[in-house]
């Protein structure tokens, strides 16, 4: 079985601009290319999992999102950073586009996208990681039994201790998180099970 690192898209690999509806506004965040290359070199599958409720809300279409994702993939590939897969959830329970207005199993914090990828790529989720800038990413990771890393200033995180959701680790940016993953400094759920 393979190990994966699941990456959130907006705010984790590209600048979060709200509802991104135009591929020309993709801004890859600092050190992201280096981070993805490091994962590629260390044998991790790199899989993007992104909530795109803008589809259900009628801000853009599923085709727009596919196009933006394709453009992102090409942009990174040009620099030698390979994304193995991109999964998106188009749904929202309060959407205005009827076919997408639903509660679903794929919208993070639900684990549906991670589980779908696990089936497709033969992944061992317990030795895989999730990295994201939002608590929904962390919760989705835990719901799929992955180890979850929150990208956040440690200081600002300590101000939010009211939440029950606890990331396994906190890192300043994607590269910082990835470096710890590939160095083996972070025990995965699998390692913890053996302790
Ligand atoms: Mg995000
Ligand atoms: Zn969904």
pLDDT tens, position by position, 133-169:
999 999 999 999 999 999 987 666 665 667 788 999 9
Alpha helices (H) along the chain: 32-41, 62-78, 112-121, 135-143, 154-158, 174-182, 189-194
Tens digits of per-residue pLDDT, 164-193?
889 999 999 999 999 999 998 777 776 654
Q: Looking at residue 164, what is its pLDDT?
A: 80
How far, in Å, from the CA of 166 to the mean position of ligand 2?
A: 23
How far, in Å, from the CA of 30 to the mean position of ligand 2?
A: 29
Return the CATH number of the domain spanning residue range 4-186.
Answer: 3.40.50.1000
Task: State the catalytic residues.
Answer: 8, 10
Break the chain into its structural domains and give their ranges.
4-186
Q: Looking at residue 193, what is its pLDDT?
A: 47
Q: What is the pTM of this model?
A: 0.93
Sheet holding 147-151, edge to edge: 85-89, 45-51, 4-7, 129-132, 147-151, 169-171
Tens digits of per-residue pLDDT, 26-84?
999 999 999 999 999 999 999 999 999 999 999 999 999 999 999 999 999 999 999 99
């Amino acid at each position: 079985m393979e190990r994966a690192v699941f990456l959130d898209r907006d705010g984790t690999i590209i600048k979060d601009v709200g509802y991104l509806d135009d591929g020309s506004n993709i801004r890859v965040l600092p050190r992201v290319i280096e981070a993805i290359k490091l994962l590629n070199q260390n044998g991790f599958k790199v899989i993007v999992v992104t909530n795109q409720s803008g589809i259900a809300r009628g801000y853009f279409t599923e085709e727009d999102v596919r196009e933006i994702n394709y453009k992102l993939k090409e942009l990174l590939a040009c620099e030698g950073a390979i994304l193995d897969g991109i999964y998106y959830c188009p749904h929202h329970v309060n959407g205005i586009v009827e076919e997408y207005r639903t509660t679903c199993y794929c919208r993070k914090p639900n684990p549906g996208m991670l589980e779908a990828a696990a089936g497709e790529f033969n992944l061992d989720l317990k030795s895989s990681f999730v990295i994201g800038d939002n608590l929904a990413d962390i919760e989705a990771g835990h719901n799929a039994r992955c180890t979850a890393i929150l990208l956040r200033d440690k200081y600002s995180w300590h101000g939010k201790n009211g939440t029950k959701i606890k990331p396994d680790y906190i890192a300043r940016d994607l590269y910082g998180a990835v470096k710890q993953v590939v160095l083996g400094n972070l025990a995965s759920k699998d390692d913890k099970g053996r302790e």
